[in-house]
Amino acid sequence: HLKLILLPAEKRLLNEYLSRGGGVQAAGDDGLEFLHVVSNATARATKGERWAVVNIFTDVDCGYCRKLHNEIDQYAELGIEVRYLAYPREGLESETASTMRSVWCSSDPASAMTRAKNSQRIAQRDCPTDPVDEQFALGRRLGVSGTPSIVTDAGDMFPGYVPAQQLAQRLGLSL
C-alpha cells in the first residue's frame, strides 16, 4: 500500500469534495442502502454499524472493480462503507466515461451502477451535476493511476482489488 502525503490543502480538497451537499436518496433491493450524496460521491452503506469509510476510484469496465462491486455485501457486513468516485481509465472522452456519466445521472444510480458493472445497457443520460470530470481530476491530483484505487480518510492508498477481510485488517478493524 502507499501512504499519500496529503498536504493540508489536498486533504481538505478530498474531505470537502466528499462532504459537500447534503441530500440523500436511498435505493436498492439487496438490503444495502445506496446513498447518492448531492456532492456526487456515491456510497454503499454498511449493514449495521459503520466502522470505516473508504473512497474507491472505480471504472465500470474494470474487471477488478466489477469483482469488488459483486462482493460489496462482504464489505458492508464488516462495517466498511464504500464511496465510489468515477475514474474512467480510458479518459474523459471515452465510451466508459459516457456510461459513468449516465450512472451518476440516473434516477436509480444503484441499479445503474450494478447494470453497468455487469455489462448491461443503461439509458444514456446527461445532467448538470455530472461529477465524472471533477472526480477524475481529483483522482489524478491524488496520484490514482489505475482502478480500483482505495483511499482512506487517513490518506492511505491501496491500489488494486483488496478482498473485504484483507481490507478490514489493513484498516485495523477487529473481525
The catalytic residues are: 59, 62, 65, 89
Type of residue at 115: R
What is the spatial order of strands in the sheet that 52-58 belongs to?
2-3, 156-159, 149-152, 52-58, 80-86, 42-44, 34-36
46 grid coordinates? 454498511
d(CA 159, CA 113) in angstroms, rounded, equals: 21
d(CA 66, CA 75) in angstroms, rounded, equals: 14
117 grid coordinates? 458493472
User: 142 burial class (0-12, 13-18, 19+ CB within 10 angstroms)?
Assistant: buried
Place of cell 474487471: 63
